[in-house]
Amino acid sequence: MKSLFPELDEADVATLPPRESIARSWCDPSQYTEVIGLDFGCNSVHFYMARCGKHGHMPFKGLLAWLLRLPSDVLVVCESAHLGVPQTELSLAQPFTAEQLLHLCDQLRRRGVTLKLAPHAHTGKRMRLWVSHNFPDLIRNAEKSDASDALALAVYVDRCNEISLANPYKSFSRSVRRQYGREVTKRSNAVLNAERTDDYKGTFYPLIIKVSRKVRKKEWFPSLKFVVTIASTLLAEHNGRLVVLTHRGQRPGRWFWMRDVLRMSPWHHRGGTARSNLMWHTFRPYLKKRAEQSGVYAIKDGNAYKPFAVYDSRQKAARTLAIRDFRQLLLRCRDLCIEQAQSMGAGQLEITPFAEEIADGR
């Protein structure tokens, strides 16, 4: 393929196998002439072009002009932490202001260049490990560097594309739903961090533990810890009374709760103790058991769980089925916790600030 920027230093061109169809709702890499990964570090920006194998780096100050020289029908992928977070008085390390980012995104749209943001928690854990596992000549031993992260973003999206990507922000105003989720996470952390010190006996939050014990008696759930975790994202104890947390006077619906409170997506940055309890401590053994029941035995490698990035097709299929059923388990527990709290005469506690800004942010 002809180089997009012949004046840049040439790099060894990697030969990759034929591309399979990996169109997803967030993008279809086959519709673009090139997929470019970007990563920031050491006052410079590294880039990697998945189709031609060209790579290089440039100073921060040259990036915006460089991006606006790209031809149409190019897909650019960058971590949200870099091109999705503006510089403010509290984040001076970010290279670009909100105005610069919004102007850049508008100009790229006008040129026909697509920018997608990747959840930065997955660049190393999933993307770089997947590329290293499947293309060891490109990244050896999942080596971490700014250059390898740029490569991982480009090649992973071009060849795998299993992690959802986001569109650039159209506004940097605070999302009220996300603010609600952060407040619930803060309250949930307090409950769970206190109660786990005494094995969830109700020493600190007796009413929430009482609800959890009653719910666990009604149906099977993995553990009391699992039920307490769910209850802590729905309920609180206020002035000695059990209350249900509300947003604008209403309990958040199932989708709202799953997305903005539990953060059940790749965009789970700072998901709190609740998400750790559910996805790290509960789902992994749940997946192992379900996989073994279906005849898939290689979810663990010795005493360690295998990273999802190196799963084969059977393991991926087992995980897909397990996560589907696990989410239904979460929702069933949610519904029972609310029903039980109401049967105990729970009140309501509004925690959404009335002054709000409209935003499209995640």
* pLDDT on residue 21: 62
Tell me: the pLDDT tens digits for 117-160? 999 888 877 999 999 999 999 998 888 899 999 999 999 999 99
> Are 331 and 185 members of one domain?
yes
Q: Measured between alpha carbons, how far is 301 from 314 in angstroms, rounded to an integer?
A: 16
Write b or e for each residue in 30-55: b if 16 or more Cβ atoms lie within 10 A of its Cβ, otherwise e.
eebebbbbbbbeeebbbbbbbbbbbb
Q: How far apart are CA 133 and CA 38, in angstroms?
A: 21
Contact 277, 97 (CB under 8 A): no
Residue 36 and residue 155 in one domain: yes
**pLDDT for res 346:** 97
| Structural domains of the chain, count | 2
Three-state secondary structure of 194-243: HHHHHCCCCCCCHHHHHHHHHHHHHCCCCCHHHHHHHHHCCEEEECCEEE
Task: Look at residue 285 in the predicted model and tell me its pLDDT.
Answer: 94
pLDDT at residue 171, rounded to an integer? 83
Is residue 2 in a domain? no
110 Cβ partners below 8 Å, 6+ apart?
none
Residue-range definition of the domain harbouring residue 215? 176-350
Same domain, 68 and 101: yes
Interaxial angle between packed helices 176-195 and 206-218, expressed in degrees from 0 to 180 and rounded to the nearest 10: 90
Q: Do residue 142 and residue 183 come from a single domain? A: no
- What is the full per-residue pLDDT of the chain (362 aa) written as tens digits? 333 433 333 333 344 545 556 899 999 999 999 999 999 988 899 999 999 999 999 998 899 999 999 999 999 999 998 898 888 887 777 889 999 999 999 999 999 999 999 998 888 779 999 999 999 999 988 888 999 999 999 999 999 999 999 999 888 877 888 899 999 999 999 999 999 999 999 999 999 999 999 999 999 999 999 999 999 999 999 999 999 999 999 999 999 999 999 988 777 667 799 999 999 999 999 999 999 988 887 888 888 999 999 999 999 999 999 999 999 999 999 999 999 999 999 999 999 875 343 333 33
Strand 55-59 versus strand 44-49 pairing type: antiparallel
The last residue of one of the domains, among 159, 194, 211, is 159
Distance CA 11, CA 126 (A): 25
How many C-beta neighbours within 10 Å does residue 277 have? Answer: 21
pLDDT of the residue at 354: 54
Task: Give yes or no for a contact between 39 and 45, defined as CB atoms under 8 angstroms apart.
Answer: yes
What per-residue confidence (pLDDT) applies to 301? Answer: 82
Q: Are residues 181 and 294 in the same domain?
A: yes
CATH code: domain of residue 134: 3.30.420
Residue-wise pLDDT tens digits, 1-17: 333 433 333 333 344 54
Q: What is the CA radius of gyration of the chain?
A: 23
Residue ending a domain, choose from 124, 159, 194: 159
Strand spans (E) along the chain: 34-41, 44-49, 55-59, 74-79, 114-118, 235-238, 241-246, 300-301, 304-305, 347-350
pLDDT of residue 106: 93
Measured between alpha carbons, how far is 171 from 175 in angstroms, rounded to an integer?
10
Between CA 199 and CA 183 the distance in angstroms is 24
Same domain, 218 and 272: yes
In a domain, 360, yes or no: no
Instruction: Please answer whether residues 193 and 273 qualify as being in contact, where contact means their C-beta atoms are separated by less than 8 angstroms.
Output: yes
The verdict on 194 and 267 lying in the same domain is yes
115 within domain boundaries = yes
Whether residues 81 and 111 share a domain: the answer is yes
115, 251: one domain = no
Q: In this structure, is residue 8 part of a structural domain?
A: no
> Of 104, 128, 159, at which residue does a domain stop?
159
Residue 268 has what pLDDT? 64
Query: What residues have CB less than 8 Å from 133, skipping those under 6 apart?
Result: 142, 309, 310
Structure tokens at 177: 């739903």
3-class secondary-structure state, position 316? helix
Q: Is 330 exposed, middle or buried (0-12, 13-18, 19+ CB in 10 A)?
A: buried
